[in-house]
Amino acid sequence: MDGKAAVEAALFSSSENLKVQDIVDRTGFDEAAVRHILKDLRVEYDERESAMMIAKIGSEYRMMLRPEYSEYTGKFAKAEMTGGMMRTLSTIAYNQPVLQSELFKTRGVRTYDDVHALADMGFIHRKKAGQTVELTTTNRFSEHFGIGSTRVADIKKWIEKQAKNAQPGPESDKGGEDDRETGL
């Protein structure tokens, strides 16, 4: 069996980040070989400028779409969340930590349903803060959107870059709470 292909298959099929030890345990390859293969795969994907990349997030690895190609996914794959949910998520990410009561003032009554759904999806963390809840993004949020960092300042910069690159079209949001599928 080709070790490189086996590690690539593991990364492709996993819905979560993988530690080197996870790959070692499940493939039977030794740790040094897995580390070498991961390094080779990362270089290989970068050199051929693939839409896919092998991202290293802390000490874990994941195969994912490069952020610059995310605009094409919505044309072929159904989005996991509505436009309203995405706007709620981006508001939380940009202003974190944010109190749910403050978010309600900005996003309205839909906030409660969105927060519940986003927490169920693993994109946000809720922590009791007096009579309300404090909201922050999770590692899954950063991984899902290919931000490459969980630092609040880096997330904020990434959102600003996405907003700057966004081209408003004829269906741009005018403050309504519709269910259009959208990206950050």
Query: What would the DSSP string read from start to end of 142-176?
Result: HHHTT-----HHHHHHHHHHHHHH----TT---S-
H/E segment holding residue 101: helix 100-107
pLDDT tens-digit series, residues 122-181: 899 999 999 999 999 998 888 888 887 888 888 888 888 887 776 554 444 444 444 333
156 shares its domain with 93: yes
Domain coverage including residue 31: 3-65
98 within a domain of the structure (yes/no):
yes
Question: 23-65, pLDDT tens digit by residue?
Answer: 999 899 999 999 999 999 999 999 998 889 998 888 889 888 8
Token pair, residue 168, equals: 């408003």
pLDDT at 6 (0 to 100)? 93
Would the CA dihedral through 31, 33, 35, 38 be positive or negative? Answer: negative
* Separation CA 62–CA 99 (nearest Å): 31
- pTM given for the model: 0.52
Q: Are 50 and 90 within one domain?
A: no
Tell whether 57 and 97 lie within a shared domain: no
Q: What's the structural domain count of the chain? A: 2
Residue 43 belongs to a domain with what CATH number? Answer: 1.10.10.10
Tens-place pLDDT, residues 55-104: 888 888 988 888 787 777 666 655 577 888 888 999 999 999 999 999 98
